[in-house]
Chain A
Amino acid sequence: MEARSIFPALDRQIYGKPLIYFDNAATAQRPQAVLDLQQRLCVEACGNIHRAIHRLSAEATDAYEAGREAVRRFINAPARENVVFTSGTTASINLVATCFCERFLGAGDRILVSEAEHHSNLVPWQLACGRQGASLEVLPVDEAGELSVEELDRRLAAAEGRIKLVAVTHISNVLGIVNPVRELVAVAHRYGVPVLVDGAQGIIHETVDVQALDCDFYAFSGHKVYAPTGIGVLYGKTRWLDEMPPFMGGGEMIDTVSFEKTTYAPLPLKYEAGTQNFVAAACFAPALETARALMDDPVLQENLLAMRDFLLAELGRIEGMRIYGCPRDPQRKIPLISFTVAGAFPADLAQILDKMGIAVRSGHVCAEPLLRRFGQTSVVRASLAPYNTLAECESFVAALRRAVNMLR
């Protein structure tokens, strides 16, 4: 399939040069089908979901639930009740950090996170630990950026039941390495410890089957899978979603309300208090259809790998280049490359590249502890999508060389 033509943003010119969008790990561009549905629902079916009898409300509710079904199918969740809509990955993780920890985390207990976590899969746990008198334990990454399943095993054995949950990223937003989530989950489950997987990057680079992974929670955002911002998903196993208390109280999450006692709505609505972003949720349907088509296209997938290999090889030729996240099995690296170049500060490189029409990310990329582990405060990150081309990669390398020469 021709990927570029369905994403209108890619036609943009930046300072008179064609846009090269290499910041897909932050936000992916949106296909025409998503933009069309968004527009159509706003115009034709702008009625609050799950509430009224009237036609607009019914159509909006149908679209919302169709979005949920699209998500369920995409991640192979067993049922609709396992798919909770939130405002994004961060909100999904905060939900679990609040509700799970309130119920299952006590004084002296621990939450185990990896050293490679985005702040969004770190700070919510810190806050929860603070509230419950618990502490955070960190599973380190090695020099290559990899997590060790054996080390997790050792930590869980040594903790003697005090670790109550493991929170780990599927793919780090800095390292771009696919973590052995299935193995990590299997080890944790041997100790009876549930696992939350931060799927912000994983959802778009891997075919995610939550039942095969057997994780207890999987969190991701819409805007990284071609849907709008302000919508995300928390997948949870029924057992946990049933046992955890509700997150926010309010409309739609109730069954009956009286001043003495309120009972809650069945899953997943128990966790969906207040008016949801129903237009964005509905957009999951066309967004995930696009994602599936792009992932299933062998030519595009081959091209992604070719771009990754080209960039790793060509960047490696630049003097002073250091790339973060080089797994022993190179196939476990996704086309997301964070790097520094000696003598050229990341923000300067990003600023010069921007002037050449190239969008990359720079800064601490929301993973300060991980960067500190590699002795950095800041990196440049180029992250690719199936709509990027090898020609763009060539322009990027040439532009980067030029920027480095300006700065040195």
Chain B
Amino acid sequence: MKTIQEIQADIVEEFSVFSDWMDKYEYLIELGKGMPLIDEKDKTEANLIRGCQSRVWLSCRAEDGRLHFAADSDAIITKGIISLLLKVYDGQTPADILAADEAFIGEIGLKENLSPTRANGLVSMIAAIKAYAAAFQAGTEEKPRDLEADVVAALRMVYDPEIPVNVYDMGLIYDIQADADGQVFIRMTLTAPNCPIADDVVAQVREAVSDVPGVKDVQVELVFEPEWTTDRMSEEAKLELGML
């Protein structure tokens, strides 16, 4: 099967024939109408992603290490874009899904549809696809479970909203202790002691780690000693923030 990058390149190619927005939208509407519907029984409250403009439903099942998605929306243009996203992600492995991005949506000129201000549920839907992939990846390690590694993977999904690098690679995590009973202790810091969203980040860390299979209890300690410096960032983080 084709890789995510190959499928995205195909879609960009496909859209390059449209010269104006009207044709593009008509094609999206067609895609939306032709999309296989989500099973009615999966159109549940739990699978619902609410936007102020439209609603999106997403369900996911795993088969042979690959994820399969079904989705629906009450808005047809949103549904057309969903069908593109599913074309890309359906049948891929969790690792590939987590590594991929959605830049191709911008390349085909539909970037504004992924803007959070559209409130059409697409942004939350992409987050939900990634969350499924992360959960599945964390839950199906074949080797004996290494709880600490799973906790690190979960921490890599947590972001301070103002920094595009996850808390682990930022070097904000000072200590991780995971015992065999699933008791996890995390000592962490923030980039600045007066960070206005400190509670938020700590809560996110706690939530992400408690979702890791095998974790029974999480304790997070927030410290500002020793002080965080940029030396603690990983090479990737420095690269991402343009510091190298």
Instruction: From known contacts A406-B29, A407-B29, infer whether A377 and B74 are also in contact, taking CB-CB under 8 Å.
Output: yes
State how many angstroms separate the Cβ of B30 from the closest Cβ of chain A. Answer: 10
User: For the complex, what is the distance from the CA of A360 to the CA of B187, rounded to whole Å?
Assistant: 50
A322 sits at the interface (CB 8 A): no
State how many angstroms separate the Cβ of B41 from the closest Cβ of chain A. Answer: 21
CB atoms of B54 and A347 under 8 A apart: yes
Leading 4 A-B pairs by shortest Cβ distance: A347-B53, A347-B75, A347-B54, A363-B53
CB atoms of B53 and A362 under 8 A apart: yes
State how many angstroms separate the Cβ of A115 from the closest Cβ of chain B. Answer: 20
* Partner of A378 from B29, B54, B76 at Cβ < 8 Å: B54
Task: List chain A residues, Cβ under 8 A from B74.
Answer: 345, 377-378
User: For the complex, what is the distance from the CA of A15 to the CA of B74, rounded to whole Å?
Assistant: 26
**Total number of B residues with any Cβ neighbor in A under 8 Å:** 16
16 further A-B contacts with Cβ under 8 Å, apart from A15-B21, A406-B29, are A345-B54, A345-B74, A346-B53, A347-B54, A347-B120, A351-B77, A355-B22, A363-B52, A363-B53, A364-B52, A377-B55, A377-B74, A378-B54, A406-B22, A406-B25, A406-B26
Q: Which residues of chain B in 183-237 are interfacial with respect to chain A, using CB atoms and an 8 Å cutoff? A: none
User: For the complex, what is the distance from the CA of A91 to the CA of B77, rounded to whole Å?
Assistant: 36
User: For the complex, what is the distance from the CA of A134 to the CA of B95, rounded to whole Å?
Assistant: 52
Instruction: From known contacts A352-B25, A355-B21, infer whether A363 and B75 are also in contact, taking CB-CB under 8 Å.
Output: no
* Partner of B76 from A348, A355, A362, A364 at Cβ < 8 Å: A348
B78 sits at the interface (CB 8 A): yes
User: For the complex, what is the distance from the CA of A355 to the CA of B52, rounded to whole Å?
Assistant: 20
CB atoms of B76 and A345 under 8 A apart: yes
Task: List chain A residues, Cβ under 8 A from B76.
Answer: 345, 348, 407
CB atoms of B77 and A348 under 8 A apart: yes
User: For the complex, what is the distance from the CA of A223 to the CA of B68, rounded to whole Å?
Assistant: 47
State how many angstroms separate the Cβ of A123 from the closest Cβ of chain B. Answer: 15
Q: Which residues of chain A in 67-112 are interfacial with respect to chain B, using CB atoms and an 8 Å cutoff? A: none
Task: List chain B residues, Cβ under 8 A from A363.
Answer: 52-53, 119
Task: List chain B residues, Cβ under 8 A from A378.
Answer: 53-54, 74
**Total number of A residues with any Cβ neighbor in B under 8 Å:** 16
Closest to B78 in A: A347
A-B contact pairs, 19 of them (CB 8 A): A345-B54, A345-B74, A345-B75, A346-B53, A347-B53, A347-B54, A347-B78, A348-B76, A352-B25, A352-B77, A355-B21, A355-B22, A355-B25, A377-B74, A406-B22, A406-B25, A406-B26, A406-B29, A407-B76
Task: List chain A residues, Cβ under 8 A from B21.
Answer: 15, 355
State how many angstroms separate the Cβ of B49 from the closest Cβ of chain A. Answer: 14
Q: Which residues of chain B in 106-156 are interfacial with respect to chain A, using CB atoms and an 8 Å cutoff? A: 119-120
Report A365-408 CB contacts with B as 1/0, cut-off 8 Å. Answer: 00000000000011000000000000000000000000000110
Task: List chain A residues, Cβ under 8 A from B29.
Answer: 348, 406-407
Q: Which residues of chain A in 322-374 are interfacial with respect to chain B, using CB atoms and an 8 Å cutoff? A: 345-348, 350-352, 355, 362-364
Chain B interface residues toward A at CB < 8 A = 21-22, 25-26, 29, 52-55, 74-78, 119-120
Chain A interface residues toward B at CB < 8 A = 15, 345-348, 350-352, 355, 362-364, 377-378, 406-407
User: For the complex, what is the distance from the CA of A406 to the CA of B21, rounded to whole Å?
Assistant: 12
User: For the complex, what is the distance from the CA of A356 to the CA of B29, rounded to whole Å?
Assistant: 17
Closest to A344 in B: B76
User: For the complex, what is the distance from the CA of A351 to the CA of B120, rounded to whole Å?
Assistant: 11
State how many angstroms separate the Cβ of B71 from the closest Cβ of chain A. Answer: 16
Task: List chain B residues, Cβ under 8 A from A364.
Answer: 52
Task: List chain B residues, Cβ under 8 A from A348.
Answer: 29, 75-78
State how many angstroms separate the Cβ of B135 from the closest Cβ of chain A. Answer: 29
Task: List chain B residues, Cβ under 8 A from A15.
Answer: 21
Task: List chain B residues, Cβ under 8 A from A406.
Answer: 22, 25-26, 29
Task: List chain B residues, Cβ under 8 A from A346.
Answer: 53
State how many angstroms separate the Cβ of B79 from the closest Cβ of chain A. Answer: 9
State how many angstroms separate the Cβ of A148 from the closest Cβ of chain B. Answer: 31
Task: List chain A residues, Cβ under 8 A from B77.
Answer: 347-348, 351-352
User: For the complex, what is the distance from the CA of A81 to the CA of B5, rounded to whole Å?
Assistant: 66
State how many angstroms separate the Cβ of A342 from the closest Cβ of chain B. Answer: 13
User: For the complex, what is the distance from the CA of A355 to the CA of B78, rounded to whole Å?
Assistant: 15
State how many angstroms separate the Cβ of B75 from the closest Cβ of chain A. Answer: 4
Task: List chain B residues, Cβ under 8 A from A351.
Answer: 25, 77
State how many angstroms separate the Cβ of B106 from the closest Cβ of chain A. Answer: 17
Closest to B120 in A: A347
User: For the complex, what is the distance from the CA of A43 to the CA of B22, rounded to whole Å?
Assistant: 45
State how many angstroms separate the Cβ of B60 from the closest Cβ of chain A. Answer: 24
State how many angstroms separate the Cβ of A379 from the closest Cβ of chain B. Answer: 11
Task: List chain A residues, Cβ under 8 A from B26.
Answer: 406
State how many angstroms separate the Cβ of A13 from the closest Cβ of chain B. Answer: 15
Task: List chain A residues, Cβ under 8 A from B75.
Answer: 345, 347-348
User: For the complex, what is the distance from the CA of A378 to the CA of B53, rounded to whole Å?
Assistant: 7
User: For the complex, what is the distance from the CA of A346 to the CA of B53, rounded to whole Å?
Assistant: 8
Closest to A352 in B: B25
User: For the complex, what is the distance from the CA of A290 to the CA of B220, rounded to whole Å?
Assistant: 57
User: For the complex, what is the distance from the CA of A350 to the CA of B52, rounded to whole Å?
Assistant: 13
Task: List chain A residues, Cβ under 8 A from B78.
Answer: 347-348
Task: List chain B residues, Cβ under 8 A from A347.
Answer: 53-54, 75, 77-78, 120
State how many angstroms separate the Cβ of A368 from the closest Cβ of chain B. Answer: 10
User: For the complex, what is the distance from the CA of A15 to the CA of B21, rounded to whole Å?
Assistant: 10
User: For the complex, what is the distance from the CA of A377 to the CA of B54, rounded to whole Å?
Assistant: 9
User: For the complex, what is the distance from the CA of A406 to the CA of B74, rounded to whole Å?
Assistant: 16
User: For the complex, what is the distance from the CA of A49 to the CA of B77, rounded to whole Å?
Assistant: 50
